[in-house]
Amino acid sequence: MRGPTVMRGYLHHPQRDRAVFGPDGWFRTGDAAVTDETGEHRIVGRIASDLIKSGGHRIGAGEVEAALLAHEAVREVAVIGVPDDDLGQAVVAYVVADGVSAAQLVEFVARELSQPQASPPDPFRFGVARNSMGKVRKDLLG
């Protein structure tokens, strides 16, 4: 993005400025977005932590999280990519839920997600790590 309301840079951090500002002055946000068939854009996560490259597909962790949260038994979820020799990254979901099995969640997510995200996360792991402010710590998962 670029414009009068975009920051000019990080205070006393020229290396960070060079990492996020292109030579033409555009700020690279690091957000991952998808465009649907109508041309509407939707932010699905952060490239650094929320874009999973699995089997040649780019999968937004946020899309998988939204699909899982649509299940009535799921209260919380965090989805990450973990290294995989065959796929590059495998999708792993950390879930807080009551009365539902991993197999039931795999089936549910497979129905909810469109291609190429239709490969549901496996394995599921139950529970999430949080910091003192209650924010999910994806960097501690996996």
**Using one digit for the tens of pLDDT, what is the confidence trace for 47-84?**
666 778 888 887 878 888 888 888 999 988 888 888 88
20 belongs to a structural domain:
no
85 belongs to a structural domain:
yes
Q: Please identify which residue in the block is written with the tokens 């795999």.
A: 106
* pTM of the predicted structure, to 2 decimals: 0.58
- Interval 83-136: pLDDT, tens: 888 888 888 888 888 899 888 988 888 888 765 454 555 566 767 777 777 777
3 belongs to a structural domain:
no
Q: What is the DSSP letter of 137?
A: -
Residue among 106, 110, 54 at smallest CA distance from 81: 54
CATH number of the domain encompassing residue 94: 3.30.300.30
Residue among 79, 142, 84 at smallest CA distance from 113: 79
62 belongs to a structural domain:
yes
Amino acid 83: pLDDT: 86
Amino acid 44: pLDDT: 66
pLDDT for residue 34 is more than 50: yes
74 belongs to a structural domain:
yes
Q: Please identify which residue in the block is written with the tokens 């539902």.
A: 100
14 belongs to a structural domain:
no
Amino acid 102: pLDDT: 86
| CA distance to 46, 51, 59, per residue, from 137 (Å) | 14, 16, 19
Domain that holds residue 40: 32-128
Tell me if 44 sits within 8 A of 63, measured CB to CB.
yes
Amino acid 118: pLDDT: 43
109 belongs to a structural domain:
yes
42 belongs to a structural domain:
yes
Rounded to the nearest integer, the mean pLDDT of the chain is 81
Tell me if 141 sits within 8 A of 80, measured CB to CB.
yes
* Domain total in the chain: 1
